[in-house]
Structure 1
Amino acid sequence: GFEAGLKVKEFKPHLMILDIMMPGIKGDEVCKKIKSDSETENIKILILSAYLDEEKFKTMEEYGADVCFSKPLQLPRLKEEVSRLLALS
């Protein structure tokens, strides 16, 4: 959760998979911080959440999430999206 938001500049991942509800911080806040910083804005963000309604989907889109899915998401679909996003980076 919060540690991911703090260490993203240190580790410089190509992709992050976030849940909207994480211990200590909300995934939407992490997404917004990552996408609003010029050092990290190119990191691809995939959102997974059991609580993804239309309003939250729009919010995540506004915050720069690259793709959003409701849980549960089948593993083959997750692999497909991760491959697609990494091919774009």
Structure 2
Amino acid sequence: MTDASPSPASPPPAQPRNPLHGITLEAMVVALQQHFGWDGLSSRIPVRCFQNDPSVASSLRFLRKTPWAREKVEGLYLFMLREQRRNARR
């Protein structure tokens, strides 16, 4: 006899319309740093982890503890993706 209910370890439902689905915070920070550089990143999101002796590791520690800063990083990442798509069409 099998149980028809989903197992507790079943994967979450797919999110095809969510551009952040499957993207780690580390991948976002690395992509933003490569695109804007630390100076550009700190001018767009003025937090110390991007301004004083920046590194991916220190940025991740801060962003994981600070929801408002993480939201700004996610927003800037989405902006960067839109900008890259627009430039690719030209």
TM-score range, shorter chain: 0.3 to 0.5
Structure having the higher helix fraction is 2
| TM-score calculated relative to the size of structure 1 | 0.33
Which of 1 and 2 has greater Rg?
A: 2
Structure in which a larger fraction of residues adopt strand = 1
